[in-house]
A and B are shown apart, each in its own frame.
Chain A
Amino acid sequence: FPVVEGVSIHNRFTNLKAPTLILNPSVPNLPRASEKPFASSPPTPPTPPLRSPSSSGALRNPSKHLLEKEKVSESRVSNLSQLALLWILPPYCLLSNWAGMRAMGMDRLDGRNANQMRPLTCSRNLLHRAHGSARWSQGDTIVLAAVYGPKAGTRKGDDPEKASIEVIWKPKTGQIGKQEKEYEMILKRTLQSICLLTSHPNTTTSVIVQVVGDDGSLLPCAINASCAALVDAGIPLKHLAVAICCGLSETGSVILDPTKVEEQKMQAFMHLVFPNSPLAVLPEGSSSKHDEPFEHGIITSVTHGAMPERGYFNCLDRGRAASAAISEFLRRSLQKDGS
């Protein structure tokens, strides 16, 4: 299946706005025609002309640098390492944030600012035997989810009046241990809360999650992939679920979507899952009592590390704001035909 979903340099930099939250806008906006040249040419190693412009050169005259690159190889963009290179060279729009970032003391290794997520990609319908499948990546964290179901019968202990969901988590390396069992349980309970369980009683839907790459924020990536895979399989859902990872540093500042290295440096990090829908099947009596809109409730929260109470609620607020952007991305990629 395609390694990278058609990123064109031109689109990437022109579509970038400079708000606080930046997603890689490339995937859903591209017309399908532009994908053909990428698929046909084989990936080639990066050539010297691309590496030589120093970062200061790029900042001084960014537009010239861009045109140069565009000329050199549109077809070579399919190489993942080049993409990583492009992302690390600070694009012009981050310049203004850079000063602010240094002031905050929050210098992230890959040049993102505190509110910036890694490039998201989502592709569906990759596996042809599975009833639904999706591949979700956030930077180097890549998860592949496959859905089989509904199949007849439930397991012995489960309620036959409802559909049941079974999750199998396959790590990238190593044996299955307690960590995988915990992920399975969290994923199962999260998916159970978004599926319409009464529409297919006495059936089992299996969700198999395969970790392809792990660079921090693994559980949210898996939840997003499973949600997209369920949609791809056509399982009836009450609403979508969007998941995000937030990290809290000792100084109290919140960063979004930390990498593995960043997670270890943080005082605490947490995985949050929010519901998302313009219209939803609301559980009765839930939103009437609260002044908060539906999207502000948490479906799932898993935290690691001790933090002050205020820090937790700060992270919740940031997570909510970010979830709006991720759900926008999810909807756009689900609406476009599966790549």
Chain B
Amino acid sequence: MATSARGGGEGEAAAGGGGGGGAAAEMEVEAYRRLFPVAYFERHLRESVRLDARPLASPRDTSVALGLVGSADGSALVKFGDTTMVAAIKLEVMTPPAESSDEGSVAVEFYMPPICSPTVRPGRSAEVAPVISKQLSDVIMSSGMINLKDLCLINGKASWIAYLDIYCLNADGSLFDAALVSTVAAFTHLEIPLVSVSDDGRVVTVPGELEGKTKLPLVNKDKRKLMLNNVPFSLTCGLHKEHILVDPTAEEESIIETFVTVVLDTLGRVVSVYKPGGSVLAYTSILKECITLAKRRAQQLRNILNESVSAMEVDKSS
């Protein structure tokens, strides 16, 4: 009730100067949008257009910015239209467990602070947050993007643990996709700090200025960047009756119940096809189309990421 009144009020204020007929029409559209969301949405679908005037198969404008968090070893900010994600990686030295003594580890955590959406309350975290954390860590492991052996420092004694934290600043649909791109971007930006062994045998990080003064820095000297192979990119499509909508916004997500998330990697392998229930059944033809759309999107995202990496390198050198 409150939202429809607000919608009506907005309409009135906006069209205040436009004359009586204009004000009434605006109010009606906004009110109709809130009161009958499904009918409003389907009216748009019949013209093959979406609520924000996008064609059905086109994703929103994407932008990636690297290195915004100064205190983190790697960070990235990703925007899919209004959906905003900040990913930050902090590396710490740990003792690896006996069964994987030559491997490091990656701990992924996805946070949805109350700032991101009116439905998220301060006390209880959003239901979808731990699920997305788990999905992200599954995709990172399945695609083999990071070779855990690269995170090893001294076999059996010290290795890196990468704490990857992703904060959703604005939740406007396609959260998993944006989170995955921000993860990949943050790992691309990651610069492993220098370490050396201190006198009492502990491995300590060495800030840049002290480079020449302490004992020989480990393996690190030439291994400052992580090699990423088989980088995964994903695309979420909403299925509504016979339409496939690419990159849904939060409003569309509240109307559509069925989503398919396809994750592909640079080799063209299917890393994951994730369809958690939903009233629309996915036939082979629909799945094939989603995979084709995902391939296109992966190419697009790869280009955007490469552009931002080269932009960052230009900044650093200048």
Query: What residues of chain A have their CB less than 8 Å away from a CB belonging to chain B?
Result: 157, 177-179, 181-182, 185-186, 188-193, 268, 270, 273, 275, 283-286, 289-290, 292, 294, 296-309, 311-313, 316
B134: Cβ under 8 A from any A Cβ = yes
Partner of B283, one of A189, A296, A309, A311: A296
Partner of A286, one of B133, B281, B284, B285: B281
Q: How far is the CA of A190 from the CA of B258 in the complex (A)?
A: 10
13 contacts between A and B (CB under 8 A): A178-B130, A178-B133, A179-B134, A182-B135, A185-B128, A285-B242, A286-B281, A296-B284, A297-B281, A298-B275, A306-B269, A309-B270, A316-B287
CB contacts (< 8 Å) of B272 on chain A: these are 303-304
Contact A300 B133, beta carbon cutoff 8 Å: no
Contact B270 A307, beta carbon cutoff 8 Å: yes
Known: A192-B279, A270-B273, A304-B138. 18 other contacts (CB 8 A): A177-B130, A185-B127, A186-B277, A190-B276, A192-B277, A193-B257, A290-B285, A294-B281, A296-B284, A298-B281, A300-B276, A300-B277, A300-B278, A301-B274, A306-B144, A307-B270, A308-B268, A309-B268
CB contacts (< 8 Å) of B281 on chain A: these are 275, 283, 286, 294, 297-299
CB contacts (< 8 Å) of B127 on chain A: these are 181, 185
B102: Cβ under 8 A from any A Cβ = no
B282: Cβ under 8 A from any A Cβ = yes
CB contacts (< 8 Å) of B142 on chain A: these are 268, 304-306
Query: What residues of chain B have their CB less than 8 Å away from a CB belonging to chain A?
Result: 119, 127-128, 130-131, 133-135, 138, 142-144, 230, 241-242, 257-258, 265, 268-285, 287, 291
Q: How far is the CA of A289 from the CA of B283 in the complex (A)?
A: 11
Contact B265 A306, beta carbon cutoff 8 Å: yes
Contact B242 A185, beta carbon cutoff 8 Å: no
CB contacts (< 8 Å) of A177 on chain B: these are 130
Partner of B274, one of A193, A303, A311: A303
Q: How far is the CA of A290 from the CA of B288 in the complex (A)?
A: 13
Which chain A residue shows the least CB distance to B121? A156
* Given A157-B119, A307-B270; A299-B277 close (CB under 8 Å): yes
Partner of B131, one of A181, A190, A312: A181
Contact A285 B277, beta carbon cutoff 8 Å: no
CB contacts (< 8 Å) of B241 on chain A: these are 283-286
CB contacts (< 8 Å) of B257 on chain A: these are 192-193
CB contacts (< 8 Å) of B130 on chain A: these are 177-178, 181-182
B280 to chain A, nearest CB (A): 6
Which chain B residue shows the least CB distance to A159? B254
CB contacts (< 8 Å) of A290 on chain B: these are 283, 285
Which chain B residue shows the least CB distance to A188? B277
B216 to chain A, nearest CB (A): 39
* Given A181-B131, A286-B241; A303-B276 close (CB under 8 Å): no
Q: How far is the CA of A301 from the CA of B259 in the complex (A)?
A: 11
Contact A193 B283, beta carbon cutoff 8 Å: no
Q: How far is the CA of A20 from the CA of B283 in the complex (A)?
A: 25
**Most chain B beta-carbon contacts within 10 A, residue among A270, A275, A302:** A302
Contact B284 A191, beta carbon cutoff 8 Å: no
Which chain A residue shows the least CB distance to B108? A178
A319 to chain B, nearest CB (A): 12
A327 to chain B, nearest CB (A): 15
Which chain B residue shows the least CB distance to A185? B131
Contact A313 B265, beta carbon cutoff 8 Å: no
CB contacts (< 8 Å) of A305 on chain B: these are 142
* Given A178-B134, A285-B241; A292-B276 close (CB under 8 Å): no
Contact B277 A289, beta carbon cutoff 8 Å: no
Contact B269 A307, beta carbon cutoff 8 Å: yes
CB contacts (< 8 Å) of B278 on chain A: these are 189, 193, 299-300
A190 to chain B, nearest CB (A): 4
Q: How far is the CA of A285 from the CA of B239 in the complex (A)?
A: 13
Contact B283 A292, beta carbon cutoff 8 Å: yes
* Given A285-B242, A286-B280, A298-B282; A306-B275 close (CB under 8 Å): no
Contact A286 B131, beta carbon cutoff 8 Å: no
Contact B273 A303, beta carbon cutoff 8 Å: yes
CB contacts (< 8 Å) of B258 on chain A: these are 193
